[in-house]
Amino acid sequence: MPAPPPAARAKLSVKAAVGSVCYSALPSQARDTLALIARGGPYPYPQDGTTFYNREGLLPPQPTGYYREYTVETPGLDHRGARRIVTGNSHQEDYYTSDHYRSFRLISRNC
């Protein structure tokens, strides 16, 4: 069987790079961040709401400005830590990362 064309391989790798997580399984701080995003802030860090550039290439390719990032507080830390929510422009296209962009999980509200 021939190998899929490069574009199809790229789509496969993106899907493999992003897992999923149920909203109810998120840490409470991530749910708090999602509520804050829904309210439109105010956000605790100046970086919150800024463009996420997807330099790692793990999320589906989109034009610059499509993704935004927000800090998820980590109890006991006096800095931003590694946890983030990254949102896309599509309805409920929210990703959670606990390891500073090494992996992402699409947040599912239907589980």
Whether the CA torsion 103, 108, 109, 111 is positive or negative: it is: negative
- Banded pLDDT at 1 (limits 50, 70, 90): very low
- Banded pLDDT at 25 (limits 50, 70, 90): very high
Dihedrals φ, ψ of 85, to 5°? -110, 130
Q: What is the mean pLDDT of residues 106-110?
A: 94
Q: Is residue 2's pLDDT more than 70? A: no
Q: Is residue 39's pLDDT more than 80? A: yes
pLDDT above 70 as % of the chain = 85
Q: Is residue 9's pLDDT more than 80? A: no
Kindly state which CATH superfamily the domain 6-108 is placed in: Microbial ribonucleases (3.10.450.30)
pLDDT above 90 as % of the chain = 77
Active site residue ranges: 69, 100
